[in-house]
Amino acid sequence: MSITSIKPTKGWKFVDFQELWHYRDLLYFLTIRGIKAKYAQSILGVGWAIIQPLATTIVFTIVFGRIAKVASDGVPYALFSYLAMWPWIYFSGTLTESSNSLVSNSSMITKVYFPRLVLPFSAVLSKLLDFILGFIVAVGFLIYYKVTPGISVMLLPLFVVQLLFTSLGLGLIFSAMAVQYRDVRYAMTFLVQLLMYGAPVVYSTSAVPEKFRYLFCLNPMVGVIEGIRSIFLDRPIPWDWIGPGSIVSLLIFMFGLLYFRRMERLFADVA
Amino acid sequence: MSEAVIKVRGLAKQYRIGSKDSANGTFLQSVGNLITAPFKNFRRLSDLSRFDRNEDSIYWALKDIDFDLEQGSVLGVIGRNGAGKSTLLKILSRITEPTRGEIQIRGQVASLLEVGTGFHPELTGRENVYMNGTILGMRRREIDKKFDEIIDFSGIEKFIDTPVKFYSSGMKVRLGFAVAANLDPDVLVVDEVLAVGDIQFQQKCMGKMGEVVSKQGRTILFVSHNISAIKSLCTKGLLLESGEMKYFGDINEAVTNYFKSNQTSEGEFVPGRLSGDERVIVEGVTLENQFGVKTETFQIGDDLRVTLRLEALDDFENPNIGIVIKSNAGAVTVANTMIDGCVARSFKKGVNIVQCTFKRIPLLPKEYGLSVAIRGNDARTPLTSSKDIGYFAVVTKMKDLGIVGPDAELLAADSISPFIPYSWKFSDGQVHDFNILDRVRHRDQVKLIKN
């Protein structure tokens, strides 16, 4: 018979994978709940997952492509910006959602014990459906513009993993912070808007001045966007733009896990 | 003697309570405060998780709790509001960590501090059963296996594929309890969840609890204000008083100690403040018989005079007053100014006296609890929290009532007599008599005459 020992803990601790594995069904149902609850009682339902990036792309194409004439490396601007908008909307959506995941479920946290990690995890997973639908739209764009991606498109999962690590890592940090400081919630809404201009969503990396380049590519989202663009447009993959961000995303994820676990013991008391 | 399933050693839990803000004196000061507020807020919010600064805002919710609980015992945790009962359960169910001390639990623990945790209004009953079940630590396969049983117990199979937002609150509670009732842990931690739903469902839950209790090997911790329920379910009692363990052992002893702690002498109780937001505080309760003798033991047919000494923190116009006599099966009878049409005298700020005499109580020999509920004149705004404030026993022998033989006694013990004539008496000497039977009879006669 298993013995549970309850005593005060201190300092950093790592993830209890065994326990997390036991609660995998909870993660599954929370993810399903996230998907169903989001689109319940709406006419278009998951259609919104397509409309949002599509509409933004159209607006950006008019504003940045036609009026401001932002360079898009010889690719039709709509295709150029959609390939960035698609991962970006996933990133900003999951970041907001996972940051709020603990606060909005505080009634659960204060009533039942379960590994709290499943909350931000499920927030990130339930958004994956939108991301998959976005992929279908991306394929539609490729067909419309008669662009054939190269064999390197097989590397897509690699960039998706980097995207997941980045959003989850930041989500873990912000969700743990938001329990104690509700400011995070307000900051998050405009922070994701500002962050977008730090990544090559509306412009091309060729517009970035050489001296800021190293600073710029520390942003993991630069790598995700550049990677996805290059594999879909069948261009050489700019590893030098991607590499630094990959390392940063891994560090963010690891730190996120540790920080979350460190703060976890306070959740029920301050939520 | 079986070995200890739960070992608690030197358990203590510290909380930080908000420290007082300095009041604004002048306009300049308040502008200044506005500017420094973010810094102060930061300090205050960070302090929520630190204990090294400012000793006087620290509060010990639990202090040095030690006990061993053997397998199969059912422990009732009792104490007033703020005594630390819920904190103890939260630590046992690993929701929050203790500040000091250690607990060792053998086997799987399930805690039930709320019914229907994780329910989402947009999901169907079926989906919510899985949601709630997995939150409580069940695996999907386990729920699959018990699904029919759960639906059966909830009694809402017709609506199982309807979104929960269309459920009545009672239906939600049923479904939630049905999931919880089918948990199968070694140790079960239960908070006052039984205080919800209608009487019928409450009894069903109590029945299920009794069933769970009687199952071999299960260890249960149970917190409730319903002392009669605790007495009928539990074998052991733990009495907490402002975070300290006052008694641990036999349940009857624990209950007696609990009542003694807010009792000054026979027939007198001093419940005091039961929760922070009360605006009328039940300062004292006196029970007397028809001879004016203060007592807790009555004969069947005695008058039961309940005198409430109420401290109002404000003036309250014509409040609604209700007194409930309860047995372990639930409410037995009520005196309620809203139902009987008695306009209670307005409360003046300070001490007010209200008296209610239940006449010739036809109550069967058993133990009864008393609770008081006072609401504003809209009959909604609660002015007191309705909790048990005293208890008494009817001690007449069954055989003196003509009830003989074990079967007859058992049957009689379950029957209740819901209507007792009573009369109110207020500080100004005003008396209001009420007998619901008269009113019903009178109405029928009026109908007869009209026809």
Let me know how long chain B is. 451
Beta-carbon contacts of A191 under 8 Å, excluding residues fewer than 6 positions away, are none
Q: Is B106 on the interface with A (CB under 8 A)?
A: yes
Min distance B338 CA to chain A CA atoms (Å): 35
Q: Do A112 and B91 touch (CB under 8 A)?
A: no
Contacts with A114 from chain B: Cβ below 8 Å: 135, 137
**Chain A residues close to B48, C-beta within 8 Å:** 180, 266, 269-270
Q: Taking CB atoms and an 8 Å cutoff, what residues of chain A touch B43?
A: none
Is residue A222 one of the residues assigned to a domain? yes
Each residue of A170-205: pLDDT tens digit?
999 999 998 888 888 888 888 888 888 888 888 888
Of A8, A22, A108, the CB nearest to B100: A8
Residue A148's pLDDT band, with cuts at 50, 70 and 90, is confident
Q: B198-233 in b/e burial notation, b at 16+ Cβ within 10 A? A: eeebbebbbebbeebbeeeebbbbbbbbbbbbbbbb
Q: Do B107 and A1 lie within an 8 Å CB cutoff? A: yes
Chain A CB contacts of B111 under 8 Å are: 112-113
Considering A178-192, B196-210, B261-275, B296-310, the range whose residues carry the highest mean pLDDT is B296-310
Asked whether residue B418 carries a pLDDT value surpassing 90, the answer given is no
Nearest chain A residue (CA) to B164: A37
A28 to each of A104, B16, B138, how far by Cα in Å? 18, 36, 13
pLDDT at residue number B23: 45
User: Best mutation site among A3, A16, A23, A29 for testing chain B: the one with the most B CBs within 10 Å?
Assistant: A29
When pLDDT is averaged across residues B179-185 and rounded to a whole number, the result is 82
pLDDT beyond 70 at A61:
yes
Q: Provide the token pair at B15.
A: 């909380």
Mean local confidence (pLDDT), B123-144: 90
Most confident among A31-35, B114-118, B166-170, B212-216 (mean pLDDT): A31-35
- Quickly count: other Cβ atoms within 10 Å of residue B246's Cβ: 17
Mean pLDDT to the nearest integer, B22-27: 50
Nearest residue in B to A266, CA atom: B49
What band does A169 get if pLDDT is binned at 50, 70 and 90? very high
In tens, the pLDDT along B372-406 reads 888 888 877 888 876 778 888 888 777 777 777 76
Calculate how close chain B gets to A43, using CA atoms only, in Å: 15
Q: Give the integer Cα–Cα distance in Å for A176 and A259.
A: 8
Find, among B19, B35, B46, the residue nearest to A183 by Cα: B46
Domain presence at residue A240: yes
In a domain, A198, yes or no: yes
pLDDT for B357? 93
Q: Measured between CA atoms, how close is B253 to chain A, in angstroms?
A: 29
B104: contact with A, CB 8 A cutoff: yes
Predicted pLDDT of residue B410: 67
Q: Which among B48, B100, B104 has the least Cβ separation from residue A180?
A: B48
Higher pLDDT, A163 or B3: A163
Domain residue extents for chain B: 12-60, 69-258, 268-439
Q: To the nearest whole angstrom, how far is the Cα of B107 from the nearest Cα of chain A?
A: 5
B136 touches chain A (CB under 8 A): yes
pLDDT, one tens digit per residue, over B89-110 is 889 988 888 988 999 998 888 8
pLDDT category at B274 given cuts 50, 70, 90 is low
**Which of A22, A40, A112 is opposite residue B135, by nearest beta carbon?**
A112
Q: Do B117 and A111 touch (CB under 8 A)?
A: yes
pLDDT at res. B49: 64
Q: Which of B2, B60, B97, B106 to mutate to test the interface with A (most CBs of A within 10 A)?
A: B97
Residues from chain A that touch B6, judged by Cβ atoms under 8 A, are: none
- The region of weakest confidence among A112-126, B13-27, B389-403 is B13-27
Q: Residue A29: pLDDT band by 50, 70, 90 thresholds? A: very high
Given a cut of 60, whether residue B20 has pLDDT beyond it is no
pLDDT single digits (tens) B425-434: 888 888 888 8
Cβ contact (<8 Å) for B113 and A112?
yes
What per-residue confidence (pLDDT) applies to B21? 45
Cβ contacts (< 8 Å) between B100 and chain A: which residues?
Answer: 8
pLDDT digits (tens, 9 = 90+) for B58-84: 788 899 999 999 888 889 998 877 788
Chain B positions touching A269 (Cβ under 8 A) are 15, 48-49, 96
Task: Determine whether the interchain pair A7/B99 forms a contact, defined as Cβ–Cβ distance below 8 Å.
Answer: no
Domain region containing A197: 46-270
> What total number of domains does chain A contain?
1
Identify the CA nearest to B257 among candidates B389, B85, B78.
B78
How many interchain CB pairs under 8 A, A with B? 119
Say which of B49, B113, B127 has its CB closest to residue A111.
B113
Region B241-252 average pLDDT = 89
Chain B residues in contact with A30 (beta carbon < 8 A): 131
How near does any CA of chain A get to the CA of B224, in Å?
16
Third-level CATH fold of B69-258: Rossmann fold (3.40.50)
Residue where the block lists tokens 């001690």? B395
A3, A7, A106: which to substitute to probe chain B, counting the most B Cβ within 10 Å? A7
Whether residues B131 and A9 touch (CB distance < 8 A) is answered with no
Which tens digit of pLDDT belongs to each residue from B305-333? 999 999 898 888 889 999 999 887 778 88
Instruction: Please give the mean pLDDT across all residues of chain B.
Output: 81
Contacting residues for B289 by C-beta, under 8 A, at least 6 apart: B295, B298, B302, B303, B304, B305
Q: Which residue has the tokens 């074998």?
A: B235
Q: Which two tokens stand for residue B418?
A: 């819901």
Residue B24 predicted with pLDDT over 50: no
State the number of CA atoms in the 13 A half-sphere of B385 facing the CB. 12
Please name the residues in contact with B326: beta carbons below 8 A apart, sequence gap of 6 or more.
B226, B228, B332, B368, B369, B370, B371, B388
Per the CB < 8 Å rule, is A1 touching B186?
A: yes
More confident residue, A158 or B342: A158
Q: Domain B268-439 has what CATH class?
A: mainly beta
Examine residue A234 and state whether it is found in any structural domain, yes or no.
Answer: yes
Mutate to test the interface with B, among A1, A113, A266 (most CBs of B within 10 A): A113
pLDDT at B52 over 70: no
Residue A113 and residue B101: Cβ atoms within 8 Å?
Answer: no
B381 three-class SS? coil
Residue in the structure block whose two tokens are 């960039």: A159
Lowest mean pLDDT among A138-142, A163-167, B429-433: B429-433
Q: What is the pLDDT of residue B333?
A: 87
Max CA distance (Å), chain B: 82
B49 CB neighbours in chain A (<8 A) are 180, 266, 269-270
Interchain contact, A8 vs B98, CB within 8 Å = yes
Q: Residue range B2-12: average pLDDT?
A: 85
**Chain A residues lying within 8 Å of B51, measured CB to CB:** none
Give percent of chain B above pLDDT 90: 14
Does the distance separating the beta carbons of A268 and B96 come in below 8 Å?
Answer: yes
Q: Give the model's pLDDT for residue B53.
A: 53
Pick the most confident of A263-267, B51-55, B205-209, B416-420: A263-267
Asked if the Cβ–Cβ distance from B99 to A8 is below 8 Å, we say yes
- For residue B233, pLDDT beyond 70: yes
Contact (CB<8Å) A112/B107? no
Asked whether this chain's domains B69-258 and B268-439 adopt the same fold, the reply is no
Q: Which of A120-134, B261-275, B430-444 has the highest mean pLDDT?
A: A120-134
Give the mean pLDDT of B404-416: 68
- Is this prediction's pTM over 0.90? no
Residue B325, burial from CB neighbour count under 10 angstroms (0-12, 13-18, 19+) = buried
Query: Cα separations (Å) of B151 from A28, B13, B26, B75, B122?
Result: 22, 39, 63, 29, 19
Quick one: pLDDT at residue B19?
44
Q: Which residues of B touch A110 (CB under 8 A)?
A: 90, 95
Nearest to A3 among B93, B106, B138 (CB): B106
Averaged pLDDT of chain A: 88
Judge: B122–A36 Cβ closer than 8 Å, yes or no: yes
C-alpha to C-alpha distance for A247 and A242, rounded to whole angstroms: 9
